[in-house]
Amino acid sequence: MSSSEQTKPLNVTERRSTIEEFLEYCAAEKNNRQNSGEPFDAESFDQGVEIALQKLTSLQKEGWT
Amino acid sequence: MIIQNLRAENILKYKQLDLQEIPPHGLIAISGQNESGKSTIGETICFALFGRTFSLDHNDIGKLIRWGENRCSVTIGFIEESGESFELSRSLDIDGNHSARLCRTDDRDNPMATGAETVSHALFQLTTFGYDEFVESFYLAQREITSPQPHSLTLKTIAGLSTLEKGAFTIEEEVHRDEANITKIEQELQQQQDELVTMEFDPDHLQELQRQKSHADQEQHKLTERIDHYESTLTAYSRTYPQLLSHTTAHSRLTFWLGLNITLLLIVATSWLLMTIQPELKQSWLNIFSPLLPQGMGWMALPLIPLFFLRKSYSSSIKRLRLPGVALGAALQDSDHGLPPELGKRCNQLAPQATESRLEGAKLTQEIEPVLKALKSNQQESAAKSKKMIEPIQVEEQRQVQTATLGQSIARLEGEMDELVSHNHSRIISIELLAGASRHLSRRFNHVIREHVGMTLPLFTENRYEHLQIEDDMTIRVFSNEKRGYLELDEISSGTQRQIMLAVRLALSQELASKRVQSNQFLILDEPFAFFDQERTINSLAVLPELSEDLPQIFVTSQVFPDGAAFQREIACSRETTVLQ
């Protein structure tokens, strides 16, 4: 690995906003919890997601990215 | 952001700095001895963009003005991903007056922003990074190359964690605020519940009091009606009694005269009939009356009809005049309203006398007086009883209102508390999710940085170190190919540490450019290869332009560049030169 030929430009990291990243995580987490066999309160979970989403949207409007 | 040109006057050692048509891709080499002004180019770019440099903050920025001059200025031209070109001008004088102006290159007459603060804000909108992110990634100053600080906001911003953490933090603050509110409501609730228990309000007791008062009121009402009835009928009785007496006398007389008249008429009629049936009687002494009989019958029959009608008229009148007595008698008959037994008995005795109007008005009034007195006494007693009930009922009603108000208040507080508890429950879930997403992003960020570092680290370290291990707290370990294991940074030489940190810095630049800036971006590396041997420097210089498609324009400074390195442009600085073009 001593020449430039061995080095290629890295793939650009998938470009997603924080909100998109968060929603993706929540969707995966919900799926995990629903299939965990443990009791799962989907309504509370969705409310939690909604609150966080509102906060992130509000922060995004303030300039947080 | 790709820099197109840079013009400056009176900045640090340069009287004039004018770099035009800077290549948008490839390496731009800035070479020269120590203190030849190599780093000044990077500092000038930094000042142009952010109004400060790495070594001079806003308080010391006056030191940027060339010695002996009153004012410095800089204009930087750059192009964004959209293809739009911008020009940012900034000037500073020794009195500290700082001006800035940002405009589109094709519309210089209408600046997008003027004034240092406004320009700073507008630039952030354009580039989405600020000074902190800039110096942590795109600008490697000569003196600064350290391990990333895990708690640095800049690093978190690059990783995309800062918004999640800020969100979690503000929601946590809301949870604490509402927990305090819940405690306050609980205390208030407890106080009101205690108050409610202390009141010991019994609705049945109020109903019983109201029932008793209602009964007393009804009794009083009945007695009032009864007394009024007695008094009115007694008055009517007394008023009509003389008239009744006279009418009764007149009626009796008329009955007598009517009876007498009818009797005589019957006698005369019988006589006339006898003489008609037995004519021989006409021969007797009766014969002298015979011519008078028909005439007499006529005279007798004549008053019969008026008398009859007059008597009938009196009968009707008497019947009407007896009505008060009848009413009074009925009242006396029904006089069981708490009267003493002897008075009740007396009433029963008086009842037929009143009904038949046998007693004179005054006499009857006198007889009934004790009854009326007893009734009035009972009425007053009922009134007093009713009045006595008013206050306790009012007190109980007031207590009922207070109880109801307290009940409503308790229900409201319970509702508020339930809502707060429920909302906090959801908030706690949201905090957990934000923390989980942060961990998830942090791990992925570390993974991405490791991947990025893996492309340059072997190159920078001559394959002695291949990859890094980055913990969640940004603790860095490096894998040694020779020792076949991970080493702590302080276990390796400072030169190698610097090489590792350069690889990390480049990785952060790549990540920021791809994730946040989302635009082609210039990179300034000031003396990055100070601890590299010539071969490694050549290899590194060869790989830098191809490191990332997001970082096409790279400024690199070095005292001397090795032969054979390919540059898009070479800028040579010297200690004696104060004008660089």
Contact list, A18 vs chain B (CB under 8 Å): 160, 163-164
CA angle B422, B423, B429 (to 5 degrees): 95
Q: How far is A8 from chain B (nearest CA, A)?
A: 6
Task: Identify the sign of the CA torsion B328, B329, B334, B335.
Answer: positive
CB contact under 8 A, B171 and A60: no
Residue of chain A with shortest Cα separation from B432: A48
Contact B128 A51 (CB under 8 A): no
Q: What is the DSSP annotation of B62-84?
A: GGGBPTT-SEEEEEEEEE-TTS-
What lies within 8 Å, CB to CB, of B109 at 6+ separation is B103
Mean pLDDT value across residues B388-405: 93
Q: What integer is the mean pLDDT of B13-18? A: 91
Nearest to A9 by CA among B25, B579, B5: B25
CB contact under 8 A, A18 and B434: no
As beta bridge partners, residue B113 has B102
Would you say residue B154 has pLDDT above 70? no
Q: Per-residue pLDDT for A5 more than 50? A: no
State in words which class domain B2-159+514-580 has: alpha beta
**Domain regions of chain B by residue span:** 2-159+514-580, 203-395
Nearest CB among A8, A10, A56 relative to B510 is that of: A10
| DSSP H or E run through B27 | strand B26-31
Helices (H), B461-560: 494-511, 534-543
Calculate the average pLDDT of chain B. Answer: 86
Pairs from B471-480 (Cβ < 8 Å, separation ≥ 24)? B471/B446, B472/B150, B472/B439, B472/B442, B472/B443, B472/B446, B473/B150, B474/B147, B474/B148, B474/B149, B474/B150, B474/B155, B474/B446, B475/B150, B476/B147, B476/B148, B476/B500, B476/B504
Are A48 and B430 within 8 A, CB to CB?
yes
Give the burial class of B448: count Cβ atoms within 10 A of its Cβ; 0-12 exposed, 13-18 middle, 19 or more buried. Answer: buried
Paired residues of B90 in beta bridges: B74, B100
Reported confidence tier of residue B566, pLDDT bands at 50, 70, 90: confident
Range name among B27-31, B195-199, B511-515 with the lowest pLDDT average: B511-515
Q: What is the pLDDT of residue B345?
A: 86
Q: Taking a C-beta distance cutoff of 8 angstroms, is the pair B25, B555 a contact?
A: no
ipTM above 0.90, yes or no: no
pLDDT in tens, B282-330: 666 666 666 777 777 788 788 888 888 999 999 999 999 999 999 988 8
End-to-end CA distance of chain A: 37
Can you tell me the distance from the alpha carbon of B532 to that of B541, in angstroms, rounded to the nearest whole number? 11
**Per-residue confidence at B149, pLDDT binned at 50, 70, 90?**
low
- What tokens appear for B427 in the block? 């908030």
CA distance B14 to B8: 8
- Please give the Cα distance from B40 to B56 (Å, whole number): 12
Residue A31 has pLDDT above 90, yes or no: yes
Length of chain A: 65
* Min distance A25 CA to chain B CA atoms (Å): 6
Task: Quote the pLDDT of residue B286.
Answer: 62
Per-residue pLDDT tens over the stretch B173-218:
999 999 999 999 999 999 999 999 998 999 999 999 999 999 999 9
CB contact under 8 A, B437 and A26: yes
